[in-house]
Structure 1
Amino acid sequence: MGLISPFATVQASTYPLQTTFPDIMMYKAHTNKKVIALTFDDGPDQRFTPDILDVLNQHHVNATFFLMGSRVAKYPHVAKRIVKTGHAAGNHTYWHPQLTKTGVHNMKWEINKTEQQIQAATGTKPKLFRAPYGALNKTLVKKLGGMGYKGIGWSIDTNDWKELSARSIVNRVFNNVHPGAIILMHSAGHGTQDLSGTVHALKKMIPRLKKKGYRFVTIPELWSLEHENMSKDLHQ
């Protein structure tokens, strides 16, 4: 871009793909505004996703759900509810492979197959993508951009997939919270995985974060804010 952003050092040391591909990748927004984005991977299902949607609705919070195509095919009504109630839907592959091992051709298939399922279930075409395990490299990111997608990572990992207690999840969030954060959580898991800690954590942390002055936004809203800031930097 020709100019040094005041955030370049932070990005380079923590999120190199966002530094190299700022128009494709985002792990957090660089802002002083107290905005925060809740994101949920691996759904939809019929066990935890509906409960999470209930909590979000109760607190008037919109979030972003990165959906697996194979699960959208199984639970299209839940995917439809996600979009219908004002949340953003993103693409999280069809079978959840580690893309840095399976390569570009497989990523293209996974994204296209999932896109078809999400569009059929919700009537919307996703343009956000989150790689399983966050596993991406420069070759994959270039292809992602060529497909018209924005790649989304995270800056706070709750590790809720480890079946942590609500208290542990809340502590992880509040120990790391910052303006422009993207919080990684899960709305579904494998057959015996218990994500009830996630549901109960949301009930606790949403009111507490609001009390601290945070406003919840979707990833498309956060993306707009990030690029508004970048535009200002370029014109200074």
Structure 2
Amino acid sequence: MPIVSASSETPYAAAAALQPNDKEASATAAAQIEANAKPKPADLGELQRKYSETFKFHGPKVKQVALTFDDGPDPRFTPQVLDVLQREGVKATFFVLGNRAKKFPALVKRIHHEGHLIGNHSFSHPNFGKRSLKQFQTEILRTEKIIKQTVGYRPKLIRPPYGEIRETQIQWVKKNGCTIVNWNVDSLDWKGLDKAKVEANVLGAAGPGSIVLFHAGGGVGSNLNGTIQALPDIIQTMRAKGYQFVDLAELLHTVKYR
């Protein structure tokens, strides 16, 4: 089956959900990092055409942009991101990891209560391009259950770690009424970039219908201060150009839950 590689997301993002005592996921983190370090064959065009209603990388070409945040909830960074969004009056989309949602339910509830959309980013951040359909189902359904227990709904939107997905997995997502959402603008904030570089990466690439990838969580020793500092300028600059910030359900004209 074709494998999609849409990601320049960090090879160390597999550790984003981990603290030193997170034994449950640590056994697979090293293997995930190694697997992601190798280039993968890509057939994005074919799969986009074949599954255009299920597999999204951007929205309609209108002056709307969706800010998305992966790998939370994380008590170091997620509250700071939420504080900025609240001050700026922006609604965003957070793709949460199941093992972190289980560990930090209060943060998931805060994301929900402040009006942001929650999506499914798997339980332990595996590379689905290297996983079976059964493993994919287990990761997605386990996280879905945690989110449902925490905020009362099952997310419709799924973002596979690293943007990696197999065709059989897309078919299962379609059958179950969900949507896979990757991105077309990458902040590269996982690299620990400073404010100016994060701004340049986003403002230099964002346009009508863009889906922007940021992170609201990271591995031990990670630094997302560049994102937290850059967000106000990014939002204000794009607003001055006439852009509206919306969550992914609004951008993609789909329902929030299922």
Q: TM-score, normalised by structure 1?
A: 0.87
Q: Is the aligned partner of 1:177 residue 2:234?
A: no
Deviations 1:82-133 (A, max 9, x none): 0111100000000000011012110100001000111111112111000000
Instruction: State the Cα RMSD in Å.
Output: 1.3
Map of 2:59 onto structure 1: 29
Residue segments in structure 1 that go unaligned for 5+ positions in a row: 1-12, 226-236
Map of 1:143 onto structure 2: 172
Deviations 1:196-220 (A, max 9, x none): 1110010221111111111001100
Map of 1:87 onto structure 2: 116
Distance 2:56 2:46 in 1: 10
Deviations 1:47-103 (A, max 9, x none): 100000000000100000000000000100000110111100000000000011012
Say which is worse superposed, 21-30 or 36-45, in terms of deviation.
Answer: 21-30
In the TM superposition, 1:101-112 aligns within 5 A as: 101-112=130-141
Map of 1:223 onto structure 2: 252
Map of 2:193 onto structure 1: 164
**1:183 match: secondary structure:** strand
Q: Is the aligned partner of 1:20 residue 2:50?
A: yes
Q: Tell me by how many angstroms 1:14 deviates.
A: 6.2
More helix by share: 1
Could you tell me whether the CA contact under 8 Å between 2:73 and 2:216 is conserved in 1? yes
Residue segments in structure 2 that go unaligned for 5+ positions in a row: 1-42
Map of 2:83 onto structure 1: 54
Distance 2:108 2:98 in 1: 10
**2:196 match: secondary structure:** helix
Q: Percent identity among equivalent residues?
A: 38
Distance 2:44 2:160 in 1: 17
**1:40 match: secondary structure:** strand
In the TM superposition, 1:64-75 aligns within 5 A as: 64-75=93-104
**What is the identity, as a one-letter code, of the residue corresponding to 1:99?**
F
**1:176 match: secondary structure:** coil
Residues 14 and 142 of structure 1: CA distance in aligned 2, closer, same or farther (over 3 Å):
closer
Distance 1:15 1:189 in 2: 30
**What is the identity, as a one-letter code, of the residue corresponding to 1:218?**
D
**2:204 match: secondary structure:** helix
Residues 16 and 216 of structure 1: CA distance in aligned 2, closer, same or farther (over 3 Å):
farther
**What is the identity, as a one-letter code, of the residue corresponding to 1:74?**
K
Distance 2:211 2:45 in 1: 13
Could you tell me whether the CA contact under 8 Å between 1:24 and 1:141 is conserved in 2? yes
Could you tell me whether the CA contact under 8 Å between 1:15 and 1:27 is conserved in 2? no
Map of 1:6 onto structure 2: none
Say which is worse superposed, 75-84 or 138-147, in terms of deviation.
Answer: 138-147
Q: TM-score, normalised by structure 2?
A: 0.80
Q: Is the aligned partner of 1:120 residue 2:149?
A: yes
Deviating runs (4+, > 4 A) in structure 1?
none
Q: Tell me by how many angstroms 1:137 deviates.
A: 2.4
